[in-house]
Structure 1
């Protein structure tokens, strides 16, 4: 790992107001180590493209050395790690992107970032279908030795993270705030589990609040860490589409899950499919594309979710099976079910109630029902 003096140089440069990842990257690529940048003269600094006078003034006249020392102390007090762009432990795929973060704050085992990864992203306001698919993909991909990367948001992100852990796999959460800022608060318990068994990363200094403009920048790290990005549900304008387009720009694989043609939450995923994203019908559609990267990795210790999903092992009567054949993952009105069953309404309602109790059918508002698994 980098020595303390080196880390202080990196933090000092990173904390220069108005510099940012792009400017810091240009300075380091042109002038070398941060210590050399901090020691450079005014004229030389101004020769670097995009570096403006206020930044140069701050480097020469007021470098935040004390702030850097305090930041490093706080990192160590919290048992966080700090990876610099040139550190051998820095994720290789992330280093390749157009604007890699010059510093990566890490809560968890740094070595886990060397494993092959796949990103799963989707809507915060996910449907029950989106959450179910997010869980199945998270568990299945983690069980095949892939890190599951996402943004710790509500909805699909949280479903993918949680299911990867439940499958005994590794998950990586990328934050749009400081590592010490609990956001979203509803996922605080999940974040603690990820830190214990996976990794949480951020490019932002400790204490940085989750302001809206930080999340599009965060998304480049999600796609940058991964061999590919899977979009489960996304509206026409969403952060998930930003992540997918960044992945396309970097030459990474992009996958999309189809949904209902009249569903606003799937409109973005359908748009990606029209642009050439790979349609995912089953887990193998992803694994086959990434198979070249999986040869040296064994499946995680957990068990991959059964392909039969939530209904594996459920015993059904012949009458229940006949009703199940009518139902779909999308809602069906009770009148349609009764017409298809060819038996009295009271009997159909009795069977539907039993199927609900067995956890294989979901009752929705407006006298509608939907299937929540495959036929066992």
Structure 2
């Protein structure tokens, strides 16, 4: 689908009680997003499209599609409308149409904004300054710890953390966002009523309660491979910029970064070891012009976002969200001074991977442990 110019809000009739018409347009057979934008530009609202008549429609979309648009909605479309209206009876469920006053303006200004946003959770988060954090699904312990720490500090500064609810970096970013007052938005590639992947179901339920789940897909839409690259434009479109943490050379996160750049968003990348496969994507982004960042303060300064007066103030680096040396006493005791695999540490401590990641990062940045090949860590002997 080719890009189209964004439709000025003044050209679109406010949805009000006409949500059924928007749902009908969104589900019309043969009408993709580009065609829907073309029709809205010509007629101003979904209702005006359906009332335009065959001759007027045919001038824009041809006679066959014009006949389809003039026909009554199908049984499938009517069922979807009824299901959606019933879903909206829950107070935390919302559907925003393009042109609605609450529709995020930053997203409305991208070349191909969604017609509808299905939302579960805190709709107020859509008005917050936001930063997307994305990266590898197969992230390292260090990468997930970095994502969680950056997200926590950003959220404490009043910045909403946006990501895609995937395993790895996405999940860690959402976890960190939930810890702060800025909270988090998960943009999903299914209907907003489904939780995918299954391993992130508990996290998704927490986001639905304390954050916000956003989808452009109709309720009940299952996960398909094409949905996820497509939703990336929403992740970046909702955000001031995109921070990439751990990405392979062919990572899908680079698609989000590319789309962000095309939308005029800033792209940030966290560097890594030249020997690490998951650093290659970030290094490529930096070579191509992404901003290298090492601290949250650098990101906030580049975003030109100051901590909100009503929210806890963020300190200058991600390490302020990490445990202290005292908090890590048990971890240090288990390490001793011989190399130990992270999996063995998990088994010995009986903790979660998230807690262990944060502890290891805190100790590494304090110079008390070092990481070794093969995913092992070792305590550093202090003279």
> TM tier, shorter chain?
0.7 to 0.9
For 1:1-376, list aligned pairs within 5 A. Answer: 2-4=15-17, 6-48=18-60, 51=61, 53-64=63-74, 66-79=78-91, 80-291=93-304, 293-294=305-306, 297-298=308-309, 300-301=311-312, 307=319, 310=322, 312-314=324-326, 350-352=336-338, 360=363, 361=369, 368-369=376-377
Q: CA deviation at 1:148?
A: 0.2
Alpha carbons of 1:61 and 1:131: their partners in 2 closer, same or farther (altered >3 Å)? same
User: Normalized against structure 1, the TM-score is what?
Assistant: 0.81
Which residue of 1 is the match for residue 5 of structure 2? none
State the secondary structure of the residue aligned to 2:326: coil
Q: 1:176, 1:226 → 2: CA distance?
A: 17
8 Å Cα contact 1:144-1:298 kept in structure 2: no
Q: Looking at CA atoms only, which structure, 1 or 2, has the larger radius of gyration?
A: 1
Q: CA deviation at 1:24?
A: 1.1
Q: CA deviation at 1:25?
A: 1.4
Deviations along 1:161-200, whole A, 9 cap, x unmatched?
0111123431000010001111011111111111111111
Alpha carbons of 1:369 and 1:208: their partners in 2 closer, same or farther (altered >3 Å)? same
Q: 2:213, 2:375 → 1: CA distance?
A: 43
Q: CA deviation at 1:201?
A: 0.5
Note the aligned Cα RMSD (angstroms).
3.0
Structure 2: runs of 5 or more not aligned = 1-13, 350-358, 364-368
Alpha carbons of 1:118 and 1:262: their partners in 2 closer, same or farther (altered >3 Å)? same
Q: CA deviation at 1:367?
A: 9.2
Q: 2:224, 2:327 → 1: CA distance?
A: 50
State the secondary structure of the residue aligned to 1:351: coil
8 Å Cα contact 2:339-2:376 kept in structure 1: no
Q: 1:125, 1:208 → 2: CA distance?
A: 25
Aligned length: 337
